Amino acid sequence: MALGYVGVLTIRVEMPWVASLKEKRALVRPVVERLKVRFPLTVARLDGLDAHDWEVIGVATLSNDYGWVEETLRMAADYIAKEGPYRVTSEEIEITPLGSGEDE
């Protein structure tokens, strides 16, 4: 039995109509900030920071309950998909068990 679970969600969002980094940040940053407030998550803009038309957002959480980790990441993915004026082109959830739960 695992001691806990670390869940990571990565989502790529694209907005081909955006012409500048400033415009992209104005679309993505508010969603990232609201996500941090709304859910018990760590959120970061991971990749595409120098590209004006796409970005990868990373989300992580930790719990002793696998189902809770999975549900929380799914809610975060749904929130990202519906809150921003962009297209979600890929998403991946990875949940990793921590430790064995037995005294060593």
Q: pLDDT tens digits for 2-58? A: 899 999 999 999 999 999 999 999 999 999 999 999 999 999 999 999 999 999 999
Provide the β-strand partners of residue 55. Answer: 13
**Can you give the pLDDT at residue 99?**
85
pLDDT digits (tens, 9 = 90+) for 8-21: 999 999 999 999 99
Q: What is the largest CA-CA distance in the chain?
A: 56
Contacts of 21 (CB under 8 A, 6+ apart): 50, 52
Whole-model pTM over 0.85: yes
